[in-house]
Copies of this chain bind each other. A is one copy, B any other.
């Protein structure tokens, strides 16, 4: 199962692609899209749409994961976030890729083990879990964390269906390229 996480934002949008095979979750790609700052809003949103469409075509994810939004007290920032978020969701759905949402606390819980984790903890654990040479930029780390959260949820379903890692040649214990779910709980 290949999962694309997207962390949409008005100035920076992070993305991250992971793949779950049995008990392991491996890193495929991550990055950030930064439409030109001085450009008009519509141009930036158009650039975002094109960039995400390219990412989706390049990596052919089976599912896109976006963090659920708990609206703040500020309607202006909610509008701005909504605009980028709408583009991200539409870019996936218009290509037939389903979009799932997780609460921020669920994503932190899956990656750090506590729903109250800091941004820095998420970055550090994403680096560790995916065995990356260095921590990804914050927006990309958040996107990877969302993708890991879903891959993890899918892996639990697989476990329930009897695909326990112990019966599959110990894939659950592989180091370096994946992570062991026990560490994540």
- Chain A interface residues (CB < 8 Å from chain B): 40-50, 64, 69, 71-76, 78-87, 89-95, 98-99
Q: Ordered nearest first, which 3 A-B pairs have the shortest CB separation?
A: A82-B82, A46-B93, A83-B86
8 A-B pairs in the complex with CB atoms less than 8 angstroms apart:
A41-B89, A42-B99, A45-B90, A46-B92, A49-B49, A76-B78, A82-B86, A83-B83
In Å, the complex CA distance between A47 and B89 comes to: 11
Q: Which residues of B contact A50 (CB under 8 A)?
A: 94
Q: Which residues of B contact A80 (CB under 8 A)?
A: 82
Find the residue from A48, A50, A64, A94 having the highest chain B CB count within 10 A. Answer: A94
A90 and B87 within 8 A (CB): yes
Q: Given contacts A41-B99, A42-B64, A42-B93, list 17 more A-B pairs with CB under 8 A.
A: A42-B98, A42-B99, A44-B93, A45-B93, A46-B95, A48-B90, A49-B91, A50-B94, A69-B79, A71-B76, A76-B78, A78-B78, A78-B79, A79-B82, A83-B86, A83-B89, A86-B86
Specify which of B46, B71, B73, B93 is in contact with A94 (CB 8 Å cutoff).
Answer: B46
CB distance from A185 to the nearest CB of B (A): 29
Q: Which residue of B lies closest to A45 (CB)?
A: B90
Q: Which residues of B contact A84 (CB under 8 A)?
A: 86
In Å, the complex CA distance between A90 and B89 comes to: 12
